[in-house]
Chains A and B, each alone.
Chain A
Amino acid sequence: QKEVEQNSGPLSVPEGAIASLNCTYSDRGSQSFFWYRQYSGKSPELIMFIYSNGDKEDGRFTAQLNKASQYVSLLIRDSQPSDSATYLCAAYLVNQAGTALIFGKGTTLSVSS
């Protein structure tokens, strides 16, 4: 079964450090990848997406994609306590029925002040 895999954590970093979140995917045909943030009891919200090999930066966030290794990561620079949340990686995967966005199980990040 085609999958998106994440380390569930928790990942703990001190305030001001860089948090590194990782994700692997099984479908070599996947073209686009998304990172969502979800606070406890809330719905997921989009942080950024990436579909080209290399890095994509948006403020304190950098997404990295390596299609040869089927690996996606999210770096959060200058981590803040408000970044404490669950981070979900997602990829469009093609199955027998069609194309749908499949999520990993999420990585819980805790930023201590």
Chain B
Amino acid sequence: NAGVTQTPKFQVLKTGQSMTLQCAQDMNHNSMYWYRQDPGMGLRLIYYSASEGTTDKGEVPNGYNVSRLNKREFSLRLESAAPSQTSVYFCASSSLTGGDSPLHFGNGTRLTVT
């Protein structure tokens, strides 16, 4: 009963390095999301994928790219990490986008960029 699985759990990068955060869900959900959470800022939407084959920008997309690899997997890539991207990243999924579909969250990835 895994739900939403994120890897890695922790990561430290140097400025300018690249990395990909992985997310997979086993609930057969159509929609997947990437949020970042910073102290005092709540959860801010980076990118989302309403269905397999589509991706859309959220509130704070600059500096990130995403790939909806298949229905289960949605990855987030930082091409050239910056200290401003130090944050906790949450992946989430829902059966649909909208209506009464709640989000189910992964356990988060804590990223530090030095």
Contacts and interface: CB of A to CB of B under 8 A. Distances in A.
B42 A105 contact: yes
Interface stretch (A13-21, A63-71, A73-81, A94-102): A94-102
A98 B103 CA distance: 16
Given A99-B97, A100-B58, A106 B102 contact: no
Interface residues of A, number: 25
Given A98-B50, A101-B33, A105-B42, A46 B102 contact: yes
Interface in B40-90: 40-45, 48, 50, 56-59, 90
Interface string B88-108: 001000100111101111111
14 contacts: A31-B99, A34-B102, A44-B103, A49-B102, A88-B43, A97-B57, A97-B58, A98-B56, A100-B33, A100-B56, A101-B45, A101-B97, A102-B45, A104-B42
A102 B45 CA distance: 7
Contacts, number: 67
A8 B40 contact: yes
Given A32-B98, A32-B100, A49-B102, A99 B40 contact: no
Nearest to B61: A97
Nearest to A103: B43
Contacts of B41: 105
